[in-house]
Structure 1
Amino acid sequence: MTPHVVIGVDAGSATLRDADHLIQRLAAELALSEGVFGCTHLIRTGQPRVALSLALPDETAAARTREHLAREYPGTGTDAARAAAAGHRARTAGRAVLFPGAQAMAAATPTVAELLAHSAIDAVSVLGSPGPPDGALRLVTRGHIRPEWRSGRLVLAAVPAAGGALAPFEVPNPTPCCGDHGQ
């Protein structure tokens, strides 16, 4: 089942964490299938915020989703929502929160080869490395995998981790920067 109807959502999420939670909540409220893609998109124009995009399997699912969004988030037809949908549709922008294989892979410590074989992720890139990683390397997910659309491919950025493993570059609960310096 390949998702083909993309909807943009601008619910005014202030942070990636807020947007992640909203995508998860929408997936539960709408009983979205494992095959759905849900992405976040940083909006840097006007009021900075995070918009969402959902790629749904068919027009029936899209109509049901639009109806729900109109009830729950009446201000979602913004330029930011349209930009998020366009970037996702072109597969050139978007940080995937929902994607086929996301739950199973985040709950495991897969090898790179297993991740690529059992999820929608097309490639793993290791920061500072010129080529793809060895498929036998383990990926310590910490329950959190957020690949991004790049040039039509879903790519997970990773970094070296302890014991010769890799870890996703994005950590599950980042420490806020520059909060209370000097206090």
Structure 2
Amino acid sequence: MGPALVTPYALTVDTGIRELRAADHLLHTLAAELALPGDVFGCTHLVRGKRPRVVVSLILPSEPLQRTALERLTARGHEVAYGVPDPVGRAVLFPGSASLTGTLTVADVLSRSAIDRVSVLGTPEPPAPDTPLATRDHVRPQWQDGALVLTAMPAAGGALVPFEVPDPTPCCADH
């Protein structure tokens, strides 16, 4: 697990959400309502089984903030538990996430945010630091073996784009 995932100040919130987009929105709403600082990690986690859903985790920097968040979330009727459900969360909120807009170099992405590395689909080597990355204002890295990794794919003109698109087309949308 990454350093952020082993903090004792983590909470998991289960509201029964079934879609990533709704979970992303919930994380942004919670960050605003709870006035969370920029060093918070907010991740989505897929829960499989009899009741598939998406839960969110908040990795907070202190015990007082954890206690306040827990009180406010439970007062709103949310199901809240201590810790994170798994070590492979998809980060929506993370240090520096707000600065990852427009087109940046890979070096800029790494220096401005908590992202540890960028990987490119189908390529064993990391991209060059000066490779442009068109963020589409939607950057969702995932925890992998203790590192926050942004998976990207090649785009026109030698640039990269994050693998996850901001507005995916639902399966069979044209039927």
Tell me the TM-score normalized by structure 1.
Answer: 0.88
RMSD in angstroms over aligned alpha carbons?
Answer: 1.6
Give the counterpart letter for 1:164 in structure 2: G
Alignment partners' CA distance in 1, 2:134 and 2:173: 28
In terms of fraction of residues, the more helix-rich structure is: 1
CA distances 1:103-162 after superposition (whole Å, capped 9, x unpaired): 111x23110011111100001010000110111001101110000000000000000011
Tell me, what secondary structure is at the counterpart of 1:135?
coil
Q: Hey, what's the Cα distance between the residues in 1 that align with 2:114 and 2:134?
A: 18
- TM-score normalised to structure 2 length: 0.92
Within 5 Å, give how 1:29-178 maps onto structure 2. 29-74=33-78, 76-77=79-80, 85-87=84-86, 92-105=87-100, 107-178=101-172
How many residue pairs match? The answer is 170
Unmatched segments (≥5 aa) in structure 2: none
Unpaired segments of 5 or more residues in structure 1? none
Task: Measure the CA separation in 2 of the matches of 1:132 and 1:20.
Answer: 27
Once the two structures are aligned, what percentage of the paired residues are identical? 54
Which residue type is aligned with residue 7 of structure 1?
Answer: L
The partner residue of 1:10 within 11, 14, 19 is: 14
1:27 paired residue among 5, 28, 31: 31
What secondary structure, in the 3-state scheme, does the structure 1 residue paired with 2:151 have? strand
**Structure richer in strand, relative to its length:** 2
1:47 maps to a residue whose letter is R
The residue type equivalent to 2:10 in the other structure is V
Runs of 4+ that moved beyond 3 A: none
